[in-house]
Amino acid sequence: MKLMKTIIAALVITAAPSLASAQSCNNADFEYGNFTNWKAWKGSCNSSGSIFNYVLSPGWDSSRNVPVTQSPDRHVILDQPGLDPNTYTDLALPNDSSIPFQAPGGGKVSVRLGNAVNGAQSERLQFKFLVQANSSAFTYQYAVVFQDPNHQPYDQPRFDIQLYWDSAGITVPIPGQCGAYHVYAGSDTSFITKGTVKYKTWTTVGMDLSAYLNDSVTIEFSTGDCTQSGHWGYAYIDATCSASEISTAYCPSDPQITLTAPAGYVGYTWKDNQTGQFIGYTQSIVLDNPKVGDQYTVYLTNLAGCPTTLITTLDFNPPNDIPLFLLNQNVMTPNNDGYNDKFYTAANYYEMVAPASHDSILKANPLKYVKDFNIKIYNRWGLEVFSSHDYKVEWDGKMTSGKPADEGVYYWMAEYKSTCSIDDVPIKSKGFVHLLR
Ligand SMILES: [Ca+2]
Ligand SMILES: [Ca+2]
């Protein structure tokens, strides 16, 4: 049996390379409800000359996702709705400007870094991941609440963002406006003043990481109180990864197409490459009579001043129905050795392993036309052991109860619809997977 297992596993590896080899962008958005894949530090801060310094030591046991000392109020998971108490004004008033705990559009969970306690405290969170085609756009959201003692900028409560490139085992900080971004009390004109507090509500910043494709990067968020100990500052953060591309979803009969650039930029300038004319200055633009082969460029600038250029060519006539995309992976061995530990759909295969080869066949990502996805997995007696509405689902061989499923054959049935479908009839797919332990 052992030999058989090895042979079957080898066959499947050829067909579907493991997805577990490098850290993906999972839980950048904190939607796991914890700090999985994040590292944390805490400590103090000071200044020397005109430089602000962080003095930090590990503050979190990332292997167990628990704080290592007694101050869990400095890295805080916010999974319940609420309003920041230090920016709360009056909900009965229009244009109320208090900061909600969760980032707009950022799901159910965001994080607070730091607290409303002074004493020259500082805190840090880092997230390291492998940049892939589907995760080359890193977008973070932040809000900050600072007491404003009107010190020099390098002594003020602050929030700093730094990008690192992990190249061949060496971690290099990226300098300049595309790697570093600094926010301190009153550092820009968007701050609102309430008594001695200056605050800035949720703000989105996009980072194009295409230059680091297939390398790991680390994003670092740090907060510091005023260095002279008398005033506090903290930040709310959330983040997400997506493809750094112009979205062009449209259907064959559409007389118009909407081009949408990634969110998180303060400047959008669109150019029609056919005429060389600038044709728009918003995140999305609408074009009449889209023609295959036409090319458009968008020039982006984020809040930190970092410029990015994206180009798209209209080279795809989408089908009314999407081809079946569930992969017939028929063996899984959930023993955490990195090979076939999970059963996954071709959506993951497409996005994480073979986007280039897929592109050359279909000329576009068909997954953006998927809607109403549903998959159920049954054991040989017809009992449902797992279900999901996520087309990127990964089944780890555990039943809904959390208990590991027994060895044996499991049947899956999936269905989904195409957003371009005229009759709205679901596309159905089924198969089996042999679970070996
Ligand atoms: Ca979130
Ligand atoms: Ca503090």
**How far is residue 286's CA from residue 302's CA, in Å, rounded to a whole number?**
22
Ion ligand 1 neighbours (CB, 5 A) are: 29-30, 106-107, 109, 238
- Per-residue three-class SS string for 75-107: EEEECCCCECCCCCCCCCCCCCCCCECCCCCCC
- Residue 48 corresponds to which tokens in the numbers above? 């020397």
Task: Calculate what percentage of the chain has a pLDDT beyond 70.
Answer: 80
Question: How much distance in Å is there from the Cα of 115 to the middle of ligand 1?
Answer: 19
- Asked if residue 42 lies in contact with residue 123, where contact means CB atoms within 8 angstroms, the answer is yes
DSSP of 330-394, one letter per residue? -EE--SSSSSS-SEE-HHHIIIII-HHHHHHHHSS-GGGGEEEEEEEEE-TTS-EEEEES-TT-E
Are 291 and 312 in contact, with CB atoms under 8 Å apart? Answer: no
For residue 146, report the distance from its CA to the centre of ligand 2, in Å.
10
Name 165's Cβ contacts closer than 8 Å, sequence gap at least 6.
Answer: 171, 172, 174, 212, 215, 217
pLDDT at 364 over 60: no
pLDDT for the residue 197: 92
CA of 27 to the centre of ligand 1 (A): 8
How far is C-alpha 332 from the chain's CA centre?
27
Q: What confidence score (pLDDT) does residue 289 get?
A: 82
CA of 305 to the centre of ligand 2 (A): 29
* Distance between Cα 21 and ligand 1 center (Å): 25
Nearest ligand, CA of residue 224?
A: 2
Report the pLDDT averaged over residues 69-79.
78
Query: Beta strand 331-332 with 427-435: parallel, antiparallel or unpaired?
Result: parallel
Task: Return d(Cα 221, Cα 86) in angstroms, integer.
Answer: 21
Distance 361 CA to ligand 1 centre (A): 34
Tokens (6 digits) for 259: 């081009």
The pTM for the full model equals 0.72
CA of 187 to the centre of ligand 2 (A): 19
Residue 108 Cα, ligand 1 centroid: separation in angstroms? 6
The DSSP output letter for 191 is -
CB 177 within 8 A of CB 265: no
Closest CA to 405 of 380, 426, 429: 380
Do residues 208 and 136 make contact, with C-beta atoms less than 8 angstroms apart? yes
Among the bound ligands, the one closest to the CA of 227? 2
pLDDT tier, 61 (very low <50, low <70, confident <90, very high otherwise): low
Strand partners, 163: 219
Measured in angstroms, how far is the CA atom of residue 241 from the centroid of ligand 1? 11
- For residue 240, which ligand has an atom nearest its CA? 1
Nearest-ligand number for the alpha carbon of 106: 1
**pLDDT given at position 69:** 53
What's the pLDDT at 335?
Answer: 82
**Ligand 2 centroid, distance to 11 Cα (angstroms):** 55
Compute, in angstroms, the gap from residue 102 CA to the centroid of ligand 1: 7
**Cα-to-centroid distance, 118 and ligand 2 (Å):** 5
**Can you give the pLDDT at residue 22?**
55
Cβ 412 vs Cβ 330: under 8 Å: no
Q: Average of pLDDT values for 50-70?
A: 73
Instruction: Express each pLDDT in 315-325 by its tens digit.
Output: 655 555 555 45
Asked if the model's pLDDT at residue 418 lies above 80, the reply is no
Res 353: pLDDT:
42
Distance CA 33, CA 238 (A): 12
Closest CA to 102 of 26, 29, 190, 194: 29
Question: Which ligand is located closest to the Cα atom of residue 231?
Answer: 2
The average pLDDT across 195-216 equals 93
In sequence order, what are the beta bridge partners of 387?
A: 376
Q: Which amino acid is at 377?
A: I
Which of 1-5, 58-62, 298-302 holds the top average pLDDT? 298-302
Ligand of minimum distance to the alpha carbon of 78: 1
Query: What pLDDT is stored for residue 91 in this prediction?
Result: 62
Pick the ligand that lies closest to the CA of residue 145: 2
**Alpha-carbon radius of gyration of the chain:** 24
Least confident among 11-25, 48-62, 140-154, 363-377: 11-25
% of the chain surpassing 90 pLDDT: 51
Å from CA of 103 to ligand 2 middle: 21
Q: What's the gap in Å between 405 CA and the centre of ligand 2?
A: 46
371 CA from centroid of ligand 1 (Å): 22
Q: Can you give the pLDDT at residue 10? A: 32
> Which helix (H) or strand (E) covers residue 274, if one does?
none
Decide if pLDDT at 369 tops 90: no
The 3-state DSSP class for residue 255 equals: coil
Q: CA 385, CA 378: separation in Å to the nearest integer? A: 5
Local confidence band at 6 (pLDDT 50, 70, 90 cut-offs): very low
Where do the domains of the chain lie, and which CATH numbers do they carry? 2-19+320-435 (no CATH), 38-242 (2.60.120), 256-313 (2.60.40)
Phi, psi of 66 (to 5 degrees): -135, 150
Ligand 1 center to residue 112 CA distance, Å?
A: 11
Locus of tokens 């809607």: 371
- The confidence score (pLDDT) of residue 8 equals 33
Q: Categorize the per-residue pLDDT at 16 as very low, low, confident or very high, splitting at 50, 70 and 90.
A: very low
CA dist., res. 111 & res. 63, Å (int) = 19
| Ligand in nearest proximity to the CA of 73 | 2
CA distance linking residue 60 with residue 43, whole number of Å = 12
